[in-house]
Amino acid sequence: MDKTTFTLSKLRCIPMVKQYTQEHAVKLTNAFLDSGIRAINVSQQGKDGLSLLATFAKEESLLVGAGNVQTYEQAVNALQAGAAFVFSPLFDERMIDLCLSRSVPIYPVTTQANLATLHQLKVLGCYPVEELGGLAFMERIALEGDFSFFVAGHIEESMMNHYLEHPRVLGMTGSWMFKDADNFKAVTEALIRTKQYWLS
């Protein structure tokens, strides 16, 4: 397991930023630093996703990844902006090869274990987790290639233990911490709660 994936597997709960714009960057950065979290995932489907990623990646204490990366071009831009890891809801072979050539871990989604094995991937994304079949789906795929997973997809705070207690689940990424999007005190408090899931 590479160093970045190992770190994420110890943190287990990776907040996903997706509804914010660049004008929120300073307040978000303060919330991240005040809460003491160590990793975040920035959706690349928001209009300012790339610029937010680049801004947060400048913080030495944060491990910043690109989330919901759907095209090769988005992957290129994310890596140039400083993404330390990539989540993709697709299985784009060019995107995977690009990330691996840069030694940046990528966690794509696939229902075909042979594809992941072909690319020597051992850690996959599972999104949307419930629609794919939840824990039963992961158990079935894992049997075909000894995979582990990062889960995502409408996971509420109350569902965290349901997934994180499973041995095949390394962690989750989601946005429940940002429910009160404009209340940065509440956001900071929610981010602090994610630390209860840390293994180190």
Domain ranges of the chain: 3-197
pLDDT per residue of the chain (200 residues) written in tens, 0 to 9: 999 999 999 999 999 999 999 999 999 999 999 999 999 999 999 999 999 999 999 999 999 999 999 999 999 999 999 999 999 999 999 999 999 999 999 999 999 999 999 999 999 999 999 999 999 999 999 999 999 999 999 999 999 999 999 999 999 999 999 999 999 999 999 999 999 999 96
Q: Which amino acid is at 130?
A: E
Residue with tokens 């809801």: 89
CB atoms within 10 A of CB 200: 8
Angle at 180 between CA 12 and CA 5, to 5 degrees: 15
Let me know: does 13 contact 160? Beta carbons within 8 Å: yes
pTM, rounded to two decimals: 0.97
- Predicted confidence at residue 180, as pLDDT, reads 95
Q: Could you tell me the fold of the domain covering 3-197?
A: TIM Barrel (3.20.20)
Q: Which amino acid is at 156?
A: E
Residue with tokens 């629609």: 131
CA distance 37 to 193: 10
Strands (E), the chain: 13-17, 39-43, 63-67, 86-88, 106-108, 123-126, 148-151, 169-174
Q: What are phi and psi of 144, to 5 degrees?
A: -85, -10
